């Protein structure tokens, strides 16, 4: 990846750190932003029942606007969280239902779904959910349990499911993203629509980290960071802006060296107290690689702030380079880049 990275100037490197949301049924609307900001990725937001052929054509047209091929992501978990539906994308069971069934069904369902995604040009799934929801909370957990997005209530069982899902998807051509590190299963607030989501139990030795470790051992390309608070790990910042969570726990203690992506830092209520430009700077400064925002207009302030910070701070510039390398390595793994 050294040759590719060396060929990019600072604005191009910063662009690789941005994954911006595009309307799944009209992704070409993001074409100018893709080109102007050298975007590293696009997240197809919303829900679609468009035919596979139409989606494939739309995605290919968007990729043509990018100087470097992009990571193209969807939320294709199953259950209530499934971006692509319709005749070419049958409804997937929830993780909760799949987690309670045989591993062979989970593997086959994952593999078939991944092949359908890969065929239209999607190369990154923002799944699987590695959060564990204890039975004592269950559907009282707004972001995960209420929608049955978890594979179970026992971290060992969830870890087993994650060990099945990661290779099943990645061997079929779609990279996986474990979420939402270090876990949203015990919070009582949804970070998308409220502030104050807090897990007062989680520590760096939390048993609920087991599914994330299992996914990392299974070779997941990416891990997504939550926007909740974990005061026993870091009393000062939400996870997305936390160096102790991202660098200390995920990178150094657990040993993950792949792509670290944020949960949505655009519309999520959990981060509204911080201006969009600073959300990007704080996430990358904490050790994150790819800033996800579903708000297309965030591209300009986020790119501008990252460039300005890198120009004025040598250590941050080195962090930008490292993050860009992680993005490029992930693209190489996705078959998007073949150069050295």
Write out the chain's pLDDT in tens, 340 residues. Answer: 788 999 999 999 999 999 999 999 999 999 999 999 999 999 999 999 999 999 999 999 999 999 999 999 999 999 999 999 999 999 999 999 999 999 999 999 999 999 999 999 999 999 999 999 999 999 999 999 999 999 999 999 999 999 999 999 999 999 999 999 999 999 998 777 777 899 999 999 999 999 999 999 999 999 999 999 999 999 999 999 999 999 999 999 999 999 999 999 998 887 888 999 999 999 999 999 999 999 999 999 999 999 999 999 999 999 999 999 999 999 999 999 986 5
How many residues can be counted in the chain? 340
Strands 229-230 and 234-238: antiparallel
Q: 61, 26 in Cβ contact below 8 A?
A: no
* Cβ density class 220-234: b for 16+ within 10 Å, e for less: bbbbbbbbbbbeebb
SS3 state at 74: strand
DSSP label of 246: I
> Taking the model in full, what pTM does it have?
0.97
CA–CA gap between residue 186 and residue 116 (Å, rounded)? 33
pLDDT digits (tens, 9 = 90+) for 116-146: 999 999 999 999 999 999 999 999 999 999 9
CA–CA gap between residue 21 and residue 297 (Å, rounded)? 10
Distance, CA of 174 to chain centre = 13
Percent of the chain scored above 90 by pLDDT? 94
């Amino acid at each position: 990846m050294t040759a590719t990275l060396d060929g990019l100037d600072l604005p191009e490197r910063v662009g690789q750190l941005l994954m911006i949301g595009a309307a799944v049924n009209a992704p070409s609307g993001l074409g100018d932003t893709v080109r102007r900001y050298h975007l590293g990725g696009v997240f197809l937001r919303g829900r679609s029942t468009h035919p596979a052929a139409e989606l494939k054509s739309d995605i290919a047209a968007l990729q043509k606007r990018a100087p470097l091929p992009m990571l193209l992501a969807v939320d294709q978990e199953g259950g209530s969280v499934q971006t692509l539906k319709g005749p070419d994308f049958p409804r997937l069971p929830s993780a909760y239902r799949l987690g309670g069934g045989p591993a062979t069904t989970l593997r086959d369902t994952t593999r078939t779904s991944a092949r359908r995604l890969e065929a239209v040009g999607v190369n990154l799934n923002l799944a699987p959910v590695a959060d564990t929801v204890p039975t004592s909370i269950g559907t009282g957990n707004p972001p995960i349990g209420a929608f049955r997005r978890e594979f179970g209530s026992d971290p060992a069982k969830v870890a087993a499911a994650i060990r099945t899902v990661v290779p099943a998807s990645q061997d079929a051509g779609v990279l996986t993203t474990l979420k939402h590190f270090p876990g949203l299963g015990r919070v009582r607030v949804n970070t998308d629509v409220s502030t104050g989501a807090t897990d007062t139990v989680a520590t760096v030795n939390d048993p609920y980290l087991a599914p994330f470790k299992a996914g990392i051992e299974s070779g997941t390309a990416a891990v997504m960071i939550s926007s909740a608070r974990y005061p026993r790990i870091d009393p000062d910042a939400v996870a997305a802006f936390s160096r102790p969570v991202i660098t200390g726990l995920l990178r150094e203690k657990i040993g993950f060296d792949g792509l670290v992506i944020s949960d949505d830092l655009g519309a999520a209520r959990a981060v509204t107290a911080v201006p969009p430009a600073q959300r990007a700077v704080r996430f990358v400064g904490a050790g994150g690689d790819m800033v996800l925002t579903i708000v297309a207009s965030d591209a300009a302030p986020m790119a501008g702030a990252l460039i300005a910070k890198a120009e004025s701070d040598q250590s941050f510039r080195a962090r930008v380079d490292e993050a860009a390398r992680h993005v490029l390595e992930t693209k190489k793994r996705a078959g998007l880049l073949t150069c050295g």
